[in-house]
Structure 1
Amino acid sequence: MKKLISIKKIKNSLVLLGWLTSCAYAAQPATVRLDYQHSGDAKAEHYAIERVVIEPLPWPGNLSRNMDDTNRGVNRFEVLDAKSGELLYSRGFSTVFGEWSSTDEATKLSRSFQESLRFPKPDRPVHINVQKRDEHNQFRTIWSIDVDTDGQDVIRKQMPSGLKPVAIHVSGPSPDKVDLLIVGDGYTAKEMPKFIADARRLSKYLFAVSPFHERQKDFNVWAIAAPTAESGVSRPSTGQYHASVLGTRYDIFGSERYVLATDNRALREIAQNAPYEFIEILVNNPTYGGGGIFGQFSTAAAGNEWADYLFVHEFGHHFAGLADEYYTSPVAYQPNAARPEPWEPNATALADPANVKWKGKVKSGTPIPTPWPKQEYEVRSREYQKIRAKLRAENRPEPEMSALFKEDLKYTNELFSKAPHQHEIGAFEGANYEATGYYRPAQQCIMFDRSDKFCDVCSDAISTIIDLYSRPAHSVSEKTQ
């Protein structure tokens, strides 16, 4: 009976998708995807085009918001009229290569990463600029290429994949909404109902967290997955290897908890079968882990007890470009002694305390920098990290790690409850993986620890991105399945 119900829901979802596509996409242009290679090391980087693809579905985005004015991302790309130079489209983003180039490995060898740029199909040849921030946080062009999307070498037809998206939460036509696509990896054919259930469960939790809760009618959520032969994805540090559709695995950059998809082309060829602007990949694993790259994708271990937190925290990176506010956990990135001002909206080097980045949210009388029980927190955290490392080194059962996380969060909540500025926005030292020199806006936030709320600064940063991709509903009432 449950199986029949699941099949009925999927069929209804496909009918809904077809109806939305036919009524909403009539005036939408095609979707162009530029696939390229991004290579180099810690000192230099290079780009090389692979192909230009016309994706199967029309452009899902709001054509009235083609220009990105949010100033997010390490990179930005521009699509310009090749003759006049008129700016037609722009978006900020970050890359896996950009993260890798800050690791110790990048000082020893060169690597290549697949990347893609997606934009609405223009009616004329275009010039594309890929830009990167300089030491003054200004975008400078580092690669340019001319593209004729009507050229003979453009791929217009692809082999059918047989994959169809399932509607999880539909509020209206895609051009009016933020389209989030949940992609599964490590789910077998028999586990497809589990994948859909995981997608429903975690998206439901996302919309229980502010500001997503208040803005859920501005979202559509879809789910899609290609089955794998075995359950789960690879975790090399423990000798677990599985053939994965997206090349998703743990131990990225040597961090046991960092999970990323390594096959961008495979990801895009699956995702192109659904309307999307953002992607969260669910891995069918019980071990704690996840990751998020602004404008690319985020990941979360769906089978872990902390999956709710992982899904929302990592989506905060991918969706809004939020920085990690924690600093006591080991990471692979090399520190920058220059302490440049982060582009992320929730971290600052505090070069000018009188004009902190989020000054409008700081109440009169709040000291900047803002005192908090930093020393007590760090003493406890050092002991906690030793236990955590020991549990992982001994490959202890996951419930033991989960119990440690609960104990740590309980201690943090009790410690912070006694702090005088617990609920204030200020400038709390310790953020962006650094104990000193960087500051976060609140004492506690989803981006700092495993708590369940975004601070006001992060909430506003999320709302800004929602506004970039959505517009008020006008013709389709909300449908949630």
Structure 2
Amino acid sequence: MRLLPPILALALHAAAGFALAENISLRLGYEEGRSGLHFAPQYAERGAFGLSPDMGAEAHGEKWRVVAKDAKGNIVHQVNVRSGRDWVAESFDPHSGHITHAQKVTQRSGLFEVSLPFDARVASVEVLPQVKGNQLAATPLHRMDRNALQQLLNKSLSRKNLAASASATTVYESGPAAGRMDYVFIGDGYTAAEMSKWRSDAKKIIDGFLADPLFAANKGKINVRRVDVVSNQSGVDEIDKGIYKDTALDGEFGCYNIERLLCVNNSKTINTVASVLAPDQRDVLIVVSNSTRYGGSGGQVATLSMHASSIEVALHEIGHTAFALADEYDYGTCNSASEPSEGNVSRVSSRSVKWGSQIAANTAVPTQAGQYANGTVGVFQGGQYCRAGKYRPTENSRMRTLGYPWHAVNESLVAKVFAKYAGSTPPGGTTTSKTQSGSLSNGGIAYAPSATPGYIQSGAGTINLKLSGPANADFELALYKSGSNGWLKVASSTGPTSSETISYNAAAGYYYIEVKSYSGSGTYTLNYSYPTPK
């Protein structure tokens, strides 16, 4: 049996549910002062939870790149995570659903979390600013060597029982947390005597959330959890009315001087949830405040109240928080200097726009509002705070006006985010097909998939592999499956050429592919398909 490189093996074992304690979750505080950003490690834990999904260098918003290195400075693992510092504070009219205020705000201090491999090779972890493309900044914003990481682990373990008093309940579970996007709903402003009210309120919100067509269609890719925490007083701060309440998460209306903006203390929220849920069980945090006043917010932590229309605010804000969708309305401060990184807005007004493949041949481009049924994909003028110079894919979606559908382009972007989670089911029917190309030196080995997490989750059925390479080389092909005793080779093809095929009747599980040069070198192409897991 050939062993995988340590990091790949760790990720695979963690996803398959093996009890390995080889990953580390770090919680880092940050504060922006006169001399720049300062980081303060606050908590660490070690366990068999999943790794943080990579947000991609070109994804929406400011990101930090967190890099684990070995003793020689070689990169062992790296991941882009959203900083959560910059976001747009929004308020909407509860009757029309139209935007009434949009203001960019910067959070000067807060927390962020990241989960990384922590095998014996990891000698340090660095936080670097994201620069253009995949380049790494020369100077890290923060660095911790292994001794510092171990000291943080020891310190965190000693104070684990001092965490805030909270409890967690799994409301809906479709699979292991490492392979799902986990949504956590937390109550704020509910006293001990109001816990039954909170559970009833949470059910209303969660039922409304799961009834939305987008989430109903993706129930197999999500888990939903509820966190109960007791507040000393009932309600929420209402600054404009001079009302102040002592609540667990410091909920307040009127933050940033915006009447309908509902904010909480993000650091308290993260620490509270982290005290009762593992790192891979808390992907998206949503706080529900015990108030019927209309409002909510997005950002690192989404919020909503118990107003009858607040679920619509929450769905819009989750579009930002979970899926990095841009606002499609044209209210606010316009900046059209560069092409937006988000997939649902663009400066391009022709069919070469990033969603061009979804535009029907008989739809005019640019597309005039009122000429087609709403939901028709085209290139409509106005979006991301600009009346002109930026375009959106449909006339009106939930990212423009509350109460409207998400529509096709946003739905496809959401599917790509779900696909970052190992257990999620990619779109496209019952079979997933992929192609990987590369090169091998004489005696060299390559693994597929080469991208993180380095394995596939297959449903039961036939896995088909087809390898092609140079005429003067002998390449071999093998398929491995994760089992209770580790990784075992379950099929191979070792003919005298570089063209090999495998058709394997697979049980549902985790697999990876090995391409090996027995002799010779050159480029190869591997086509493989497998049953999409249910």
Give the TM-score of the pair, scaled to structure 2.
Answer: 0.65
Candidates 317, 329, 346, aligned match of 1:348 = 346
Matches within 5 A, 1:53-452: 53-55=43-45, 58=47, 60-61=49-50, 63=51, 66-69=53-56, 71-76=58-63, 77-82=65-70, 83-97=72-86, 112-123=108-119, 124-132=122-130, 141=137, 143-148=140-145, 150-154=149-153, 155-157=155-157, 158=159, 159-261=162-264, 263-272=265-274, 273-274=276-277, 275-293=281-299, 296-301=300-305, 303-328=306-331, 334-336=333-335, 338-350=336-348, 353-373=350-370, 419-452=371-404
Distance 1:85 1:66, change over 3 A: farther
Aligned partner letter, 1:280: I
- Structure number with higher helix proportion: 1
Distance 1:105 1:469, change over 3 A: closer
Deviations 1:290-349 (A, max 9, x none): 1112xx221111x11113212211111110011122234xx6xx443x532222221122
Q: Distance in 1 between matches of 2:163 and 2:105?
A: 39
**Alpha-carbon distance, 1:222 to partner:** 0.8
**Does the aligned pair in 2 maintain the 1:89–1:119 contact within 8 Å?**
no
Q: Distance in 2 between matches of 1:467 and 1:219?
A: 11
Q: Distance in 2 between matches of 1:216 and 1:105?
A: 33
Distance 1:445 1:227, change over 3 A: same
Q: Distance in 2 between matches of 1:179 and 1:254?
A: 32
Distance 1:207 1:252, change over 3 A: same
**Does the aligned pair in 2 maintain the 1:327–1:432 contact within 8 Å?**
yes
The sequence identity of aligned pairs, in percent, is 20
Aligned partner letter, 2:151: Q
**Does the aligned pair in 2 maintain the 1:313–1:447 contact within 8 Å?**
yes
- Structure number with higher strand proportion: 2
Q: Distance in 2 between matches of 1:292 and 1:153?
A: 31
Q: How many residues align?
A: 387
Distance 1:133 1:354, change over 3 A: farther
Distance 1:80 1:160, change over 3 A: closer
Distance 1:73 1:29, change over 3 A: farther
**Does the aligned pair in 2 maintain the 1:168–1:223 contact within 8 Å?**
yes
Distance 1:67 1:449, change over 3 A: closer
**Alpha-carbon distance, 1:153 to partner:** 4.4
**Does the aligned pair in 2 maintain the 1:282–1:299 contact within 8 Å?**
yes
**Does the aligned pair in 2 maintain the 1:39–1:112 contact within 8 Å?**
yes
Q: Distance in 2 between matches of 1:363 and 1:165?
A: 47
SS of 2:420's equivalent in the other structure is: helix
Once the two structures are overlaid, the 10-residue window that deviates more, 79-88 or 215-224, is 79-88
Deviations 1:27-48 (A, max 9, x none): 35454223222315xxx88221
Distance 1:268 1:423, change over 3 A: closer
Distance 1:146 1:310, change over 3 A: same
Deviations 1:424-456 (A, max 9, x none): 111222221222222211112111112242111
**Alpha-carbon distance, 1:169 to partner:** 0.6
SS of 1:448's equivalent in the other structure is: coil
- Partner in structure 2 of residue 468 of structure 1: 420
**Alpha-carbon distance, 1:465 to partner:** 1.2
Aligned partner letter, 2:142: I
**Does the aligned pair in 1 maintain the 2:165–2:229 contact within 8 Å?**
no
Deviations 1:3-33 (A, max 9, x none): xxxxxxxxxxxxxxxxxx9x94613545422
**Does the aligned pair in 1 maintain the 2:187–2:198 contact within 8 Å?**
yes
SS of 1:127's equivalent in the other structure is: strand
Q: Distance in 2 between matches of 1:246 and 1:59?
A: 29
Gaps of 5+ in 1: 1-20, 374-418, 476-481
Q: Distance in 1 between matches of 2:83 and 2:150?
A: 28
Q: Distance in 1 between matches of 2:402 and 2:87?
A: 26
Q: Distance in 1 between matches of 2:53 and 2:73?
A: 18
Distance 1:87 1:298, change over 3 A: farther
Q: Distance in 2 between matches of 1:225 and 1:139?
A: 42
Deviations 1:367-407 (A, max 9, x none): 2221115xxxxxxxxxxxxxxxxxxxxxxxxxxxxxxxxxx
**Does the aligned pair in 2 maintain the 1:35–1:52 contact within 8 Å?**
yes
Distance 1:227 1:357, change over 3 A: same
Deviations 1:190-232 (A, max 9, x none): 2222222232222222222233212202211111132112222
- Partner in structure 2 of residue 407 of structure 1: none
Aligned partner letter, 1:270: T
Give the TM-score of the pair, scaled to structure 1.
Answer: 0.72
Distance 1:215 1:420, change over 3 A: closer
Q: Distance in 1 between matches of 2:202 and 2:22?
A: 29
Q: Give the number of the structure with larger relative contact order, counting CA–CA contacts within 8 Å between residues 6 or more apart.
A: 1
SS of 1:353's equivalent in the other structure is: coil
